[in-house]
């Protein structure tokens, strides 16, 4: 990793707990997550020893997350992101960004969408290693039977996010199945 690249970190209070976000000096979001003990080892594996400078609202990301939490669920759709992963992971992560707020997709459907219908497990692994939760909406992936499946932020957060998006995106999905 280029040692001259600078990263900025901010902490974001949300209705479902404090989250952290990291951006680079180019104004791209690199990480978003709730559990620092989970994402920090992955961050270090991807980027090595880099300095994280605390910065309030880097490039407007904090305000965008706050707006999302206040009901503007589409505000995250166009936030600039930068990925560090394998070509397959990156393909999955871009496909996740194409799932609209208020909608869900199964792992199998996502595998088909990226042209790899037999790669369901690999899609699941890529989904689980997504470094930019929420903005790259891995919470919108569910089991083929419609059940909620694992989420790095915890199933209660996933349930809340899906209900929040369904309510504010106007889709009406999960309003009965998922309660907050």
Residues annotated as part of the active site: 138
Residue count of the chain, please give it.
Answer: 180
CB 133 within 8 A of CB 152: yes
- Residue 99, helix vs strand vs coil: coil
DSSP H or E segment with residue 105: strand 105-106
137: Cβ contacts below 8 Å, ≥ 6 apart: 76, 96, 97, 99, 101
| Residue 58 Cα distances to 3, 10, 47, 103, 108, angstroms | 20, 7, 19, 29, 36
Q: Which letter does DSSP use for residue 73 in this model?
A: T
């Amino acid at each position: 990793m280029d040692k001259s690249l600078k990263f900025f970190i901010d902490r974001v209070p949300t209705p479902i707990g404090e989250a952290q976000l990291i951006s680079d000096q180019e104004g791209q979001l690199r990480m978003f997550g709730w559990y620092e003990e989970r994402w920090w080892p992955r961050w270090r594996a991807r980027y090595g020893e880099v300095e994280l400078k605390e910065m309030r609202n880097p490039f407007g990301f904090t305000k965008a997350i706050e707006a999302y939490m206040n009901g503007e669920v589409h505000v995250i759709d166009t936030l600039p992101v930068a990925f560090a992963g394998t070509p397959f992971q990156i393909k999955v992560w871009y496909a996740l960004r194409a799932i609209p707020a208020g909608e869900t997709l199964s792992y199998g459907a996502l595998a088909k969408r990226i042209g790899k219908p037999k790669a369901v497990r690999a899609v699941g692994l890529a989904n689980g290693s997504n470094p930019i939760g929420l903005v790259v909406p891995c919470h919108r992936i569910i089991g083929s039977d419609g059940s909620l499946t694992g989420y790095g932020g915890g199933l209660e957060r996933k349930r809340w996010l899906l209900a929040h998006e369904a309510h504010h995106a106007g889709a009406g999905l999960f309003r009965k199945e998922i309660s907050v």
